[in-house]
Chain A
Amino acid sequence: MTAPADFKTDLLGAIPNLRAFALSLTGAGDRADDLVQETLVKAWHKQASFQPGTNIKAWLFTILRNEFYSQMRKKGREVSDAEGTLTEAMATHPDQMGKLDLADMQRALQMLPDDQREAIILIGASGMSYEEAAKVCGCATGTVKSRVSRARTRLAEILDVEDSNEYGPDSVATQVLARALG
C-alpha cells in the first residue's frame, strides 16, 4: 500500500486532469468542481483498492465517471430535450471553425450521447489509450473505438466542419495550429 503522503501527492497532481475531465462531462464549471471534490473524497476512502504502480489517472477517472453517472441518475437529465435549441443557438459555420472557442466545444460535447461523449473525451482530449479508456468505461476496446468514430462524425456535424475543404481549410488549419502552439 502506498504511503498516505504519496497517495495525497498523487491525488493533488491529478486534480488538473480531473477538473478538465469533469468539465468536459458536465459542461458546467461549478458542477465540475463539485464532481472533482466528490471524486477526491471517494478516492481517499477507496485508497486500499488502488494498486500502487498502476495508472492512478485511469483509476481516478473511473471513480469520477461513475460518480457523474450516479449523480445524473439521481437528478435526471436536464439537457436531453435542449438539443434543437442548442444546435440553433450555436449556428457555427465552416468559416468560423477557426474561431471556435472552448465554450463551443463544451456545448457540442453536451449534445453527444453519454457513451460517445466520454469516449471522445478520454481518447481525443485527455490522450488516454484505447485500452485505458476501455477500462475507465468498463467496455471492450473495440466498443470505445466505434464510439470515438461516431462521436467524431457527430461533432463534425454539430460544428459544421464536414465540408471544410471547400471553404479554405488552409486558413482554418493555420488558425487552429497557431492557437495550439499559442
Chain B
Amino acid sequence: MGWVMPTSKDEKARPLNEMAVRQIGKKLRESFDEVAKQPVPDRFAALLDELEKSEGQKQDKDQ
C-alpha cells in the first residue's frame, strides 16, 4: 500500500494521541533493551579472536 508524505492536513485527520505515542515508545525501548540485555553468545568473542589472529598472520591480505 502506498504511503504518501503526510501533509499537515493528514496529520490532523489522523491524530495519534499522546498516550499511544508513549505506549509505542516504551514498548519499542523495552523490546530493544530486552535483547540488548541478553548475554552475548560466545561465538562473537571467538570470532573477534579469530580475526585478530588471522590479521597477525596475513597482514597484506586484501579487504
Rounded to whole angstroms, the CA-CA distance of A23 and B30 in the bound complex is 13
Q: Does A74 contact B (CB under 8 A)?
A: no
Which chain B residues border A21 with CB–CB below 8 Å?
A: 32
Which chain A residues border B29 with CB–CB below 8 Å?
A: 124-125, 127, 180
**Which parts of B13-27 form the interface with A (CB within 8 Å)?**
14, 16-17, 19-27
A124 contacts B28, C-beta separation under 8 Å: yes
Nearest CB in chain A: distance from B41 CB, A: 7
B17 contacts A162, C-beta separation under 8 Å: yes
Nearest CB in chain B: distance from A14 CB, A: 10
Nearest CB in chain B: distance from A36 CB, A: 7
Residue from the list A44, A156, A180 in contact with B26, Cβ < 8 A: A180
B26 contacts A176, C-beta separation under 8 Å: yes
A159 contacts B41, C-beta separation under 8 Å: no
7 nearest A-B pairs in the assembled complex, by CB-CB distance: A125-B32, A20-B35, A20-B36, A125-B28, A124-B28, A16-B36, A105-B31
Query: Mind listing 11 A-B residue pairs with CB under 8 Å?
Result: A20-B33, A21-B32, A36-B44, A37-B43, A102-B30, A124-B28, A146-B6, A153-B14, A156-B21, A173-B22, A180-B29
